[in-house]
């Protein structure tokens, strides 16, 4: 097949456009916590540009590495359908990772090293570890590093590293479940996902008990989010079909945005939390138009 020129929709599908709002929310939440609600706009724009380039590059390379599998299971997607040249996809994917590294050199050594680590982790995940037992944990590490990138506007320290742990655990849980998107999953996989979510919730409680997160509003909001996500997992447990799992994965992926808002509430940053939570609106609207996983 010959790829169609300027097929914008195909490219937007390839980079999973609706999901980019969840990586933006990571950066915004972490940056605003590090700056106590007074953003350094110069650094923030660089951080948002870097995370966008890495996320989109990773999504493109994901489909490049998965081309043979997608030809069997997801032939409608842009690469197996011939809507985008595979050569162009490889070039854009690797190029975006390179652009991210170049951009990070403008924001100091902390951001540079985190960008390099994140780009390498994304590449290793896509190329080698995605389908192995370490895959979900590595994807969790990618989101963890993304959150640390947001914090890198200031020295991070041990507190910052601990604060990002719920993000790591939550992402790992989503990734465990996402491995069954194209097939009927097992109830055991749903249970593992739920246990990881419980561990993430426990981590949020520990953050409050230890005083790292001192505002009770964050704890209350995390309980509400846990109930909402738990309801979707219960449905997936009762009906572990591919359609039900896809819906749950999509809900959990977008759930990253309110989780970031929860962490902002825990720091008493109400206005910032509301602003970050509004990213759910474009994410959900675009999610009706194209796939996100």
Please list the pLDDT of the chain residue by residue as tens digits (293 residues).
444 566 899 999 999 999 999 999 999 999 999 999 999 999 999 999 999 999 999 999 999 999 999 999 899 999 999 999 999 999 999 999 999 999 999 989 999 999 999 999 999 999 999 999 999 999 999 999 999 999 999 999 999 999 999 999 999 999 999 887 665 668 889 999 999 999 999 999 999 999 999 999 999 999 999 999 999 999 989 988 888 888 999 999 999 999 999 999 999 999 999 999 999 999 999 998 888 87
Find the angle CA(187)-CA(226)-CA(141) to the nearest 5 degrees: 75
CA neighbor of 36 nearest in space, from 271, 276, 275: 271
Q: Identify the pLDDT of residue 66.
A: 96
The CA-based diameter of the chain, rounded to the nearest angstrom, is 59
Q: Identify the pLDDT of residue 185.
A: 67
Virtual CA dihedral for 256, 52, 140, 163, nearest 10 degrees? -60
Q: Is 109 exposed, middle or buried (0-12, 13-18, 19+ CB in 10 A)?
A: exposed
* Residue 105 main-chain phi, psi, to 5 deg: -70, -15
Distance CA 250, CA 220 (A): 23
Distance CA 30, CA 44 (A): 10
Q: Identify the pLDDT of residue 1.
A: 42
CA neighbor of 50 nearest in space, from 135, 165, 150: 150
Domains, in order of start, for the chain: 8-287 (1.10.357.140)
Distance CA 182, CA 184 (A): 7
Q: Identify the pLDDT of residue 148.
A: 98
Angle at which helix 242-254 crosses helix 280-287, to 10 degrees, equals 160
**Could you tell me the pTM of the whole model?**
0.95
């Amino acid at each position: 097949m010959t790829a169609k020129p300027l097929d914008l929709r195909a490219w937007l599908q390839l980079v999973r456009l609706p999901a980019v709002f969840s990586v933006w929310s990571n950066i915004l939440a972490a940056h605003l916590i590090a700056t106590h609600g007074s953003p350094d706009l110069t650094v923030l724009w660089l951080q948002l540009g870097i995370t966008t380039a890495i996320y989109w590059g990773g999504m493109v390379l994901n489909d490049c590495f998965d081309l043979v599998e997608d030809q069997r299971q997801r032939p409608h997607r842009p690469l197996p359908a011939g809507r985008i040249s595979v050569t162009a996809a490889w070039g854009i994917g690797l190029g975006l990772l390179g652009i991210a590294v170049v951009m990070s050199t403008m924001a100091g050594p902390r951001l540079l090293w985190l960008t390099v680590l994140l780009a390498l982790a994304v590449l290793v995940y896509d190329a080698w570890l995605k389908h192995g037992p370490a895959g979900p944990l590595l994807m969790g590490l990618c989101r963890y590093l993304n959150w640390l990138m947001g914090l890198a506007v200031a020295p991070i320290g041990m507190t910052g590293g601990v604060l990002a742990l719920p993000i790591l655990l939550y992402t790992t849980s989503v990734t465990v479940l996402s491995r069954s998107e194209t097939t009927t999953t097992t109830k055991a996989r749903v249970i593992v996902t739920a246990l990881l979510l419980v561990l993430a919730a426990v981590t949020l409680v520990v953050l409050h008990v230890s005083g790292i997160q001192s505002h009770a509003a964050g704890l209350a909001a995390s309980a509400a989010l846990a109930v909402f996500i738990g309801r979707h997992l219960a449905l997936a447990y009762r009906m572990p079909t591919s359609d039900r799992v896809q819906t749950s994965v999509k809900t959990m992926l977008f759930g990253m945005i309110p989780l970031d808002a929860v962490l902002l509430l825990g720091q008493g940053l109400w206005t910032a939390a509301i602003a970050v939570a509004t990213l759910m609106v474009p994410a959900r609207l675009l999610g009706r138009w194209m796939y996100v996983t």
